[in-house]
Chain A
Amino acid sequence: MRIVIIGNGVAGMEAALAVRRREPSWDISLISEESDHFFSRTALMWVFSGQMSHRDIEPLERDAYERLGLRRVRARAMGVDTANRLVLLAGGREPVPYDRLLISCGSRPRPGPWPGSDAYGVGHFVTLQDLAWYEREVHGGASLGGEPPRPEEHLSASASDSPYRFRQVAAERRGRLAQQPAIIGGGLIGIEAAEVAVTAGLRPRFFIREEWFWPIALEPRESRWIASRMSQHGVDVHLEHEVETLETDDDGNVAAVRSNHGRYETDCVVIAIGVLPNTSWLAESGIELDERGGIVVDEGLQTSAADVFSAGDCASVRWFDGTRRPEQLWYTARDQGRVAGRRLLGDSPRYERGAWYNSAKLMDIEYTTAGLVNWNLDGEKSWFFEEKGKVRSTTRVVVQEGRVVGFNMLGRRWDHSVLIRWIEEQRSLDWVLGHLNAAAFDTELVPPLQIPGA
């Protein structure tokens, strides 16, 4: 049996491990343009700051592929010939035949829609090559942790529209490192790009279109705290800025961001306005895509083509609310990869998305959410408490018709699995507030949250 997996990320690797665990002799190939090694994409910011090396963000030992007999192909996939069961590769490489195929090729950064978005000194912070670009703009190169192995190996089998090509570095054209970075886009990648610039000793400008930072997850009272932490750490937060143009100098290097509030000089711009399914290469393959570019899959993660499955960021899956769209999260990609692995083995499991939960770290403030928050449910009310003692935190419990349906927590650590259980048990607000510390996951010696009157 020939298993081919496109994408060496968490979904693809989980699937490969699931297959190998049960079928020691099957032929498994992983096609990846970006990297020789599976790495944690969520950890790029720490490589930039120097907190971790490339080796540190790889969950597997480097000889894992050899030990597990996983063949690697370092090239860009250019299409799938479903009739002849072949994956076509760039650079004139031999097509790879498959019996069962998993497409887990992830996301690509959403390109900037503004004039000047392709100027020198403008980039993203999503791929390994984006990281290399941003490091060269700000630090002049990689940390002592080094570069990933064979960083340019894929360039002979790439394509001009690939997100894994290296950008020209404005700092090198100018002969001066970036002094005044600007980040556009008020989400998680944006705040990471801003935080790492602060660590490099710079004072980045952070352009956010919305009224407050990250409105999809936070309400104003929560977001204000985050924004004030950003300011304290040296980020210039610009709220309600609609970017209009990225201006360039005579050499084509980015020189300024022009927004509806004025012109701001810059020499390096990170566009962090979200990601898109990385599926443009599939346009001719006849595999059904949705209007967002996500690969349409059924409950068992099968695509419209026989023996072709999809998992991770690129797959449009059914959410808990019944809608169908890609889930761009680490742990959903991991879970989908496990399901896809069993599909490749011939089982018929279903991917069932449980209750929503997530976490993040916003500068130095930790965030945990569970259940339905910011969904504007009929008659929903938020119970909110801000703790301003030795520990600072905010606690928000969303209630609908007397039942707790969601939690949004900042500052303290919480076990989301307990919070989700309470939601499923349809607990009342009073009950939840009375038992809240049973879900606490604070580190030892931290005094428990005390809610007056609860």
Chain B
Amino acid sequence: MDQQGQNGLLTTYREGWRNRSVVGLAISLLLVTFYVVLYWEHKVEEQLGVAPLTAVSEAMGLRNRWYLYGFLYSVAMVAGAIYYLRRHGNSRYNRFRITVNVAIQIALGFTLPFIMPLFGGKEVYFSYFWPLKYDYLYPQTLADLPLYFALYTVVGSLIAAPVMAVLFGKRWYCSWVCGCGGLANTFGDPWRHLTSKSTKSWRFEQLSIHLVLLIAIATTFLIGLDSLIGSEHPTFHRIVAGNDWKDWSIKSFYGFAVGSILAGVIGTGLYPIFGPRVWCRNFCPMAAILGWVQKVGRYRIKVKPGMCISCGNCSTYCEMGIDVRSYAQADQSFTRASCVGCGMCAHMCPRGVLKLENSWERPEDKERQRLSVVDF
């Protein structure tokens, strides 16, 4: 039977592994260790004499450790999706969204990139765009890509993704397509209540996500400039791109700090401590851009007036740390830049107060009854 809201009560706080217990911390440590080995396997190999992930991937016929990662990623998403849908699959929005997201990961995030080299093609990821896939607008990368994909990535990153976000909100990407969001909403779902709702965490997010966006744009710009003038200015080229992939340069620093540390080690490794959207909420430059666009687009969370009982289910289960309750009890329909449209607030609401929708009609800007101190 299809139902609107949540079916049966959750026992979240009665499960230790979901609440920063020893088991929860151990899971986090395991994930962090995995990412450290994944990104810096050559250092591990120097120390131990073995490259564990490469050995496993070769034994499995997966060519290299990145395909092993893609495989494990897909398995984690499928397992997490089963966990998620057993709890929330009575809602059509959840069912469709998670199914599409997992299917895209398996097809475009793993299978296609794995198969393409077999036919002599270059592996490409149709489900990622700049600036999340930060090198997709580097001139050298574009030159190396097949022409059709170079066009796809330029049009997709600069035009299609923002236009879609105007029409449907950033959720079309962050909650239906993106692999990072997909892992968060499946494998990471058991920890979604751990995302901080404090005002401090909101301030941190606003600062950090825009800082990363700034660095992403600056890095792309400098690397673009380097492709024009780098050959005449060797020092500039050395600083921006480096002469060897092992050199510390702006390019490799971005890959290290943002691509490996923030997106991988912290962004996923700390799911069991800070909730599953650490990367998406605080650091993802694509989320920052789509968030701006979302603010001027059609997407919003509509609030039914006068019915909120301030119970807090919406805020508790918001993986982005939005204090949804503060808007609901103020009867204020709203669009927050960080909202990825996972639909959980509307799903958890026991009074049917919240509804995700796309509409050009602007929510009336009545003076907010500011019960929440967040906006007092």
Footprint of B on A, CB under 8 Å? Answer: 10, 13-14, 17, 21, 40, 42-43, 45-46, 49-53, 56-61, 64, 67-68, 139, 143-145, 195-196, 199, 233, 330-331, 334, 338, 357, 359-361, 364-366, 368, 390-392, 411-417, 441-446
Can you list 7 contacts pairing A with B, beta carbon distance less than 8 Å?
Answer: A40-B309, A46-B311, A58-B312, A59-B310, A441-B355, A442-B4, A444-B93
Say whether B371 faces chain A, with CB atoms less than 8 Å apart.
Answer: yes
- Nearest first, the 7 closest Cβ-Cβ pairs linking A and B are A50-B14, A413-B352, A43-B311, A143-B13, A145-B13, A49-B9, A50-B13
Footprint of A on B, CB under 8 Å? Answer: 1-16, 19, 21, 90-93, 96, 193, 198-199, 304-313, 315-316, 325-326, 329, 343, 346-347, 350-352, 355-357, 369-374, 376
Let me know if A143 and B14 touch, CB within 8 A: yes
Picked from B4, B198, B356, the residue with its CB within 8 Å of the CB of A413 is: B4
Picked from A13, A144, A443, the residue with its CB within 8 Å of the CB of B91 is: A443
Which A residues lie within 8 Å of B352 (CB)? 359, 366, 368, 413-414, 441
Report how far A216 CA is from B198 CA in the complex, Å: 41
Among B14, B325, B347, the most chain A Cβ lie within 10 Å of the Cβ of B14
Picked from A50, A59, A331, A443, the residue with its CB within 8 Å of the CB of B4 is: A443
Which B residues lie within 8 Å of A415 (CB)? 304
Other A-B pairs, 7, CB within 8 Å; known A364-B7, A446-B92: A42-B311, A43-B312, A50-B12, A145-B13, A331-B306, A357-B306, A357-B307
Take A68-B373, A390-B2, A417-B306 as given contacts and tell me if A443 and B14 are in contact as well, using a CB distance cutoff of 8 Å.
Answer: no
Which A residues lie within 8 Å of B315 (CB)? 56
- Closest CB-CB distance, A222 to chain B, in whole Å? 16
Take A199-B11, A366-B5, A445-B96 as given contacts and tell me if A42 and B310 are in contact as well, using a CB distance cutoff of 8 Å.
Answer: yes
Which B residues lie within 8 Å of A338 (CB)? 369
Take A40-B309, A52-B316, A443-B91 as given contacts and tell me if A61 and B13 are in contact as well, using a CB distance cutoff of 8 Å.
Answer: no
Take A42-B309, A52-B312, A330-B309 as given contacts and tell me if A445 and B92 are in contact as well, using a CB distance cutoff of 8 Å.
Answer: yes
Picked from B1, B92, B325, the residue with its CB within 8 Å of the CB of A443 is: B92
How many residue pairs link A and B with beta carbons under 8 A? The number is: 172
Picked from A57, A357, A444, A445, the residue with its CB within 8 Å of the CB of B312 is: A57
Take A42-B309, A443-B346 as given contacts and tell me if A64 and B373 are in contact as well, using a CB distance cutoff of 8 Å.
Answer: yes
Let me know if B372 and A59 touch, CB within 8 A: yes
Which A residues lie within 8 Å of B307 (CB)? 331, 357, 359, 416
Picked from B12, B92, B326, B356, the residue with its CB within 8 Å of the CB of A51 is: B12
Report how far A412 CA is from B12 CA in the complex, Å: 26
Which A residues lie within 8 Å of B357 (CB)? 444
Take A14-B371, A49-B10 as given contacts and tell me if A57 and B5 are in contact as well, using a CB distance cutoff of 8 Å.
Answer: no
Among B14, B329, B352, the most chain A Cβ lie within 10 Å of the Cβ of B352
- Closest CB-CB distance, B333 to chain A, in whole Å? 12
Q: Which B residue sits closest to A48, measured CB to CB?
A: B9
- Closest CB-CB distance, B164 to chain A, in whole Å? 16
Among B306, B310, B313, B343, the most chain A Cβ lie within 10 Å of the Cβ of B310
Let me know if A40 and B311 touch, CB within 8 A: yes
Q: Which B residue sits closest to A358, measured CB to CB?
A: B307
Let me know if A51 and B313 touch, CB within 8 A: yes
